[in-house]
Structure 1
């Protein structure tokens, strides 16, 4: 093995010693079984039981197959070198080697399958803990440590997607989300695969997604297909995993409020559901509408707020708003363009008008609540 395999030459002395003991144990177990061929060969205990369980982490399945094949080749060479006295004895010994090699192969597959199953179960529990920690708002280094244990590669551009979970086995649902994140066939986007941590909690499917560069709706559209029918909400993109709880809070709030917007796109940004979230009692959404819409308009001058309010009350009629304000329609048109420049919302569009109307209501309530 030292002559043929570089991986064996580069192994620490302790592991090389264990590999040698396993090979010797295999030959000794074969010799004992060949003396008593009627007995069932306990390959797993006799051969692999000599090595610690940690060796399966240091030696891959492919390397184990190479080790077993080399050991068998050495024994077969000894047969050809005169280990037996007659051709019949040589034939019987070779047949015994074939039968025992089959048992070795099955035992190897079983050991690595059990190791993979245990590792997969541990990874699944750890992933569920990470998703739960994000939802509960944990923002410490332990979260990063757990994620790195699972091979989490994303450093920035992290968001949380929430929606209804399919009526399927939770493990299959999570595996499907992982596959969608790795491959993600999105038209017009050629970026790298996404890092995904997912979990099923009750009837909800939560996905923590890293590496979301560009438009989140475009990048994550393929992942939306992993959710059950119904709304799928994307939280704001944050800079690091320890801040993902803020994205999760907004996404969950959006999922609760999405019923108020039956025609919402799928997936939909939590920020696009700000008015529904505010009406449903989300204080963060109310604060966003105040800080990002009402206050900038108020600081730009009372004329903008007054013009916007009258325009919305007059069913988006420029002429009617101009008559009430005693100004030319072009003045109303100019002020509305200023509203769009400040807020990014177009008052003539129904959805934007609804958001602006809720922001005006919240702003007036906030102004009325100020102490005199």
Structure 2
């Protein structure tokens, strides 16, 4: 019985000694708090080059976080029975949310390491005699909690930023499609880090795929290719706007950038709008691409992806007034300006089943003259009269031009 009482007394005495040692260590820590925070900031300035490049305001916030971290540690060390420290509020609550944009997670880890080094280097001085191990273990536990809290803060910031970016992208795509709020496009684009030109739009369906998951995959693939990217849903269609990587040749940029992404859309047509000079002008490319998706059903053999400019006749038949104007300007007007022989030859050639001989007889000219005129038509318009697709485009353009006259 006496042995049991003696053991309980020794245990009580050990506990009392631990409390006394802890209290003495706390007193030393409280006297050194300001000095530790200042030493941590000074060590950051000497060891971390990115910290020296920060603005004075951001450096002051980082210093305040370091001071708060030391103060919160001392407060927690006083009462070890409180459980896990409330680090998110006590430490990071002092800094503005914008600081997570100035300081990356990796840089935060480097700062934590500096603060740990400063405190650990002075454990022998800070701890009361016999409390060195106690203080070291507390520092390790506390810094682990700081690391976990940092990761949570940055994860929440990234999640919120991602949700905001997605909403902003959808807003920009909607503005481009409907042509309103265009004065804010450059500002919105800057908020998303938009910098590349030329700009193109790609439109297509997603099929049975999860819409948000499919858009995320397209965004990721576009960014890996070095493009700026915006993506949004318009009904059942996905609309993707790319700021094309400048490694692409300007003339081939639309198709070269779109081809690797076309397979990530669902079944059906994928249409690429014309390249434009900046985001504010991208509404023309977006509208052309969306119009092309609707009209592409009339050309079952269209390539995938296909340029919206290659779908001008189908878009005209679908009621696209922009396509009507473009087809007249790019095909009919050059032929009309070149003189009546070209228009007459084309009309007779199309009416006589693309027969050289029949056209020559009707015009009372040699077949070689017809060949020459047809080659001139191809040079002026980019469409070959003897080609099935070319003759269709030319026939629609000539009909529209005559209606306009």
TM-score by length of 1: 0.87
Which of 398, 401, 404 lines up with 1:360 in the alignment? Answer: 398
Instruction: Give 2:231's aligned residue.
Output: 198
Distance 1:10 1:363 in 2: 63
Given that 1:232 and 1:266 are in contact with CA atoms closer than 8 Å, whether structure 2 keeps it comes out as yes
Larger radius of gyration: 2
Partner in structure 2 of residue 235 of structure 1: 273
Structure 2 vs 1, CA of residues 264 and 69 (structure 1 numbering), >3 Å: closer, same or farther? Answer: same
1:176 match: 217
Structure 1 segment 304-315 matched on structure 2, within 5 A: 304-315=342-353
1:112 lines up with 2:154 in the alignment:
yes
Name the structure 2 match of 1:330. 368
Alignment-derived partner of residue 21 in structure 2? none
Could you tell me which of 198, 205, 222 is aligned with 1:164? 205
Alpha carbons of structure 1 residues 140 and 365: separation in structure 2 relative to 1, 3 Å: closer
State the SS of the aligned residue for 2:229.
strand
Structure 1 residue aligned with 2:384 = 346
Q: Could you list the runs of 5+ residues in structure 2 that have no partner in the other structure?
A: 1-42
Match in the other structure for 1:24: 67
Deviations 1:103-127 (Å, cap 9, x if unpaired)?
1111111111112222222222222
Alignment of 1:224 with 2:273, yes or no, is no
Displacement of 1:353: 0.7
> Are positions 1:38 and 2:81 aligned together?
yes
Partner residue in 1 for 2:313: 275
- Which is further off, 175-184 or 269-278? 175-184
2:194 is matched with which residue: 149, 152, 157?
152
Any gaps of 5 or more consecutive residues in structure 1?
185-192, 368-372
Cross-structure match for 2:17: none
Comparing 74-83 with 264-273, greater Cα deviation is found at 74-83
Give secondary structure in 2 for the equivalent of 1:161.
Answer: strand
Contact 1:311 1:317 survives alignment (8 Å) = yes
TM-aligned CA deviation for residue 267 of structure 1: 1.0
Asked if structure 1 preserves the Cα contact closer than 8 Å seen for 2:127 and 2:135, the reply is: no
Report if aligned partners of 1:138, 1:245 keep a CA contact under 8 Å in 2. Answer: no
Which residue of 49, 59, 64 maps to 1:6? 49
CA contact (8 A) 1:165 1:200 kept: no
Structure number with the higher helix fraction is 2
Q: In 2, Cα distance between the equivalents of 1:286 and 1:34?
A: 77
What's the TM-score once normalised by structure 2's chain length? 0.81
RMSD of the alignment, in Å? 2.3
The separation in 1 between residues aligned to 2:52 and 2:257, in whole angstroms, is 45
Other structure's SS at 1:281 match: coil
Partner of 2:10: none
> Map of 1:221-300 to 2, 5 A cutoff?
221-300=259-338
Partner of 1:54: 98
How many angstroms apart in 2 are the aligned matches of 1:232 and 1:274?
A: 15
TM-superposed CA distance for 1:82, in Å, is 6.5
SS class of match (1:218): helix
Q: Who is 1:214 aligned against? A: 251
Q: Tell me the secondary structure at the aligned position of residue 220 of structure 1.
A: helix
Q: How much does 1:9 deviate?
A: 4.0
1:76 aligned counterpart, secondary structure = helix
1:168 Cα deviation (Å)?
Answer: 4.1
Partner deviation per Cα, 1:205-247 (whole Å, 9 max, x = no partner): 1112223622122332112223212111111222222221122
- Cα distance, 1:19–1:322 mapped onto 2, change above 3 Å: closer
